[in-house]
Amino acid sequence: DIVMTQSPDSLAVSLGERATINCKSSQSVLYNSNNKNYLAWYQQKPGQPPKLLIYWASTRQSGVPDRFIGSGSGTDFTLTISSLQAEDVALYYCLQYYGTSPRTFGQGTKVEIK
């Protein structure tokens, strides 16, 4: 199975500042045939199911604010919250959905206000 490793496990950022979460996969999740990275990012708030933020590593889901930016390719990916808002306090997970391999999540990153 593809192992997804996120860093850091938690971070505290001041309101309006940038938050950066990294996600590394144990093997490439880039399909050469379509040049797409099979990597998504989710946000989960307490008592709620995960919410899809980003798919194909960098495409925002409809309705997601443009302060959420996904980047990266191959095995290394980043979710950036360009200007942290109070409502962004949550857990964030990356997910790989590459081919027929079992889908696997990163362990999660907790984002808090400093």
Q: How far is CA 22 from CA 29, 34, 63, in A?
A: 15, 24, 23
* Contacts of range 67-72, beta carbons closer than 8 Å, 24 or more positions apart: 68/41, 70/39, 70/41, 72/23, 72/37, 72/39
Minimal distance in Å, beta carbon 28 to other proteins?
Answer: 16
Q: Return the structure tokens found at 67.
A: 């302060």
38 binds other proteins (CB under 8 A): yes
For other proteins, the binding residue among 17, 103, 112, 113 (CB under 8 A) is 103
For other proteins, the binding residue among 22, 61, 71, 73 (CB under 8 A) is 61
Total number of residues that touch other proteins (CB under 8 A): 23
49 binds other proteins (CB under 8 A): yes
28 binds other proteins (CB under 8 A): no
